[in-house]
Each structure stands twice: as C-alpha cells, then as structure tokens.
Amino acid sequence: MTDERRAHILVVEDDTALREVVSGALTSAGYETSLAAHGITASQMLQDDKAFDIVLLDIGLPFIDGWHLLEQMQDRSRPGVIVISARGEESDKIRALDLGADDYLAKPFSADELLARIRAVLRRVRPPDEAPGVVVHGAVRVDLAARAVTRAGTEVRLSPTEWLLLAELARNAGVTLDHRALLQRVWGPQYADERNYLRTFAQRLRVKLEDDPAHPEIVVTVGRQGYRFGPPR
Ligand code: CA
C-alpha cells in the first residue's frame, strides 16, 4: 500500500454495529471508506461513479438486497466485490461468485481475515504501478510492467505466486527483504510465519532462473534474515 494512492472501499451493510466495526478496521489499515446502510443508497453511490476499488457487500439488506446490487454491477466496469453474508451456505458462495463477486466471506469474520481478503482482491483489480520497469541480472530479465521474465532471451513461465515473489524481490533488487515482509506482501498478513512457503517458492524460482540452483545468484538467501535479488546494492 505504501506507494499507492489509498484504496477506496464502499461498505454496504445494514447492521450499524458491524458497519462501524468494519469501517474502523479499514480506516486504521489506511483505506478510505464510504458507508451505505441499505441497497438504495449503495445503488446510488455506485451509479454516481465514485471511484471505488472494492465494495464489501452484505446480502441481506433492506429495499434492494445484495444479489440485486451484484446484478446491477455486472454491466459496467466495476470495482472488486467481496460478498459478506451471515448465511454462510455453499450455495450462496457459488451464486455470489457466479454473479461476478471476487470473493465471499461468511460472518462472523475477523478484521485480519477481512484485510487479507481485501489485499488479495486489490492485487487483482488494481495491480500496483511497477515503477522500476525492467530489472536485469546476468541472463535473466524481469519486465515488471509487462509481467514477463526471460532467461537468455527465452520466456520463463511462472505461476502467479512465483511471479509475485520474483516481482517483489526484483522491485527491491539488491535489498534484503526479511521473511515476514515477503510472506505478508506476497501471500498475505496471515502467512507471516509460513517460512516453508518461501523456501519452496524460492527454490522453484531458482530451478527456473539460476545457472546453478545450488549456488543462487538471483534469488539469494541472506543468512537467517531473508532473501535478496542479485548482489547487494
Ligand atoms: Ca444484513
């Protein structure tokens, strides 16, 4: 979030207490929030073309329910949508995703869980500006804007998570990123202690990128601290 404009989130929730708790959590996390207590207000706010990045959409709403709002949102370029529902039924989840929602969260949920989902959806609807453009080390060229990697001129195919990890390292080439920071940025806040994820994905990147994966020069382990792209800056 640091180098981006603050994301703007519309919270559509008729339960006043929950609306306040959610907006409080979002505000503390640095997001700009707007609130709608029922479907008519929400519908108007969405039609007024406010530049929302994400809509947190309760399903059970007076006047116009969340399903109708989801349908209304389908025909234009719309913000990311996370449906929040008290019902928590698998059929509701499938219906929400079928209607174009990006994610579904059953009540009750924790603030951490909500923030993690928001980060994940934001990454999809609004990829960050990738300022440095192209980062090169040896035969490996990482084009951050085009999301493309080549090795000696040949395209290297990466999974979405492999790409996110490599891009995070390349964007900070020469700087050691500690385990927690990488896990939080690539996987999400709830993964801060899952170092095995990092080890696994660092190794997968090495196999694809390094001349000698056992002696990496691109995805470099820095003692017990973390990882670094290339030599220190
Ligand atoms: Ca409700």
Tell me the pLDDT tens digit for each residue of 84-104: 988 767 788 888 887 778 888
Say what the pLDDT of residue 151 is.
96
Say what the pLDDT of residue 94 is.
81
Q: Is 60 buried (19+), middle (13-18) or exposed (0-12) by CB count in 10 A? A: middle
Please tell me the distance between residue 52's alpha carbon and the centre of ligand 1 in angstroms. Answer: 21
- CATH code for the domain defined by 134-229: 1.10.10.10
Please tell me the distance between residue 151's alpha carbon and the centre of ligand 1 in angstroms. Answer: 52
Mean of per-residue pLDDT scores for the chain: 87
Q: Which residues of 68-103 are buried (b: 16+ CB within 10 A; e: fewer)?
A: ebbebbeeeebbbbbbbbeeeeeebbebbeebebbb
Q: Which residue in the block uniquely carries the two structure tokens 């116009």?
A: 64
Please tell me the distance between residue 127's alpha carbon and the centre of ligand 1 in angstroms. Answer: 31
Condensed to tens digits (0 to 9), the pLDDT of residues 37-51 reads 999 999 999 888 668
Give the pair of three-digit tokens for residue 123.
């990454």
Helices and strands (H, E) in the chain, number of each type: 8, 12
Please tell me the distance between residue 73's alpha carbon and the centre of ligand 1 in angstroms. Answer: 19
CA distance 176 to 130: 19
Closest by Cα among 174, 149, 144, 58 to 108? 58
CA distance 178 to 183: 9
Q: Name the band, by pLDDT with cuts 50, 70 and 90, for residue 3.
A: very low
- Residues with CB in 5 Å of ion ligand 1: 14, 58, 60
CA distance 213 to 53: 40
Architecture of the structural domain at 8-125: 3-Layer(aba) Sandwich (3.40)
Please tell me the distance between residue 143's alpha carbon and the centre of ligand 1 in angstroms. Answer: 45
Domain coordinates in residue numbering, the chain: 8-125, 134-229
Say what the pLDDT of residue 109 is.
93
Please tell me the distance between residue 83's alpha carbon and the centre of ligand 1 in angstroms. Answer: 11
